[in-house]
Amino acid sequence: KAQWANNDEYLKYLYSYIHLNPVKLIDPIWKEKGIKNSEVAFTYASSYQYSSLSDYLGAIRQISGILTPTLFPDYFSTHLNIRKELLEWINFQLPIDQESQTLKSGFKQN
């Protein structure tokens, strides 16, 4: 189901969701149960060949020519800020009472 990204908070969530999606290939239930090694997860996501994350982190790839990372709103002024944001999402755990509601809706909006 499509949903309009109508605020900065949701757009930042989508950025993280998209770039961390490859982690489910090494740990299919990491979003529900948490991840044991956040560095391994981040390294996997940032080196996944079909992801543009490495481009946002400054890598130059042959396929980089089709991307325009500068068009994305400048939420992260450095590569370190991107890394910090994604590691926060990797390490984030929902309180038990909110977990099922948020996972069903995809994103909990206030």
Taking only the tens place, the pLDDT of each residue in 24-78 is: 999 999 988 888 899 999 999 999 999 999 988 988 888 888 888 776 767 888 8
Which residue would you say has higher pLDDT here, 23 or 2? 23
Domain assignment present for 56: yes
Task: Tell me the two tokens of residue 47.
Answer: 């080196």
Report the alpha-carbon distance of residue 27 to residue 79 in Å, rounded. Answer: 25
Q: Is the pLDDT of residue 110 over 50?
A: no
Residue 2 resides in a domain: no
Mean pLDDT over each residue of the chain, to the nearest integer: 83
Q: Name, in order, each residue with C-beta under 8 angstroms of 24's C-beta and a sequence gap of 6 or more.
A: 30, 31
47 in any annotated domain: yes
Q: How many domains does the chain have?
A: 1
CA distance 13 to 89: 9
pTM to 2 decimal places: 0.74
Q: Which amino acid is at 31?
A: K
| pLDDT above 50 (res 7) | yes
Q: Give the domain extent around 91.
A: 8-95
23 within some domain = yes
Average of pLDDT values for 77-95?
87
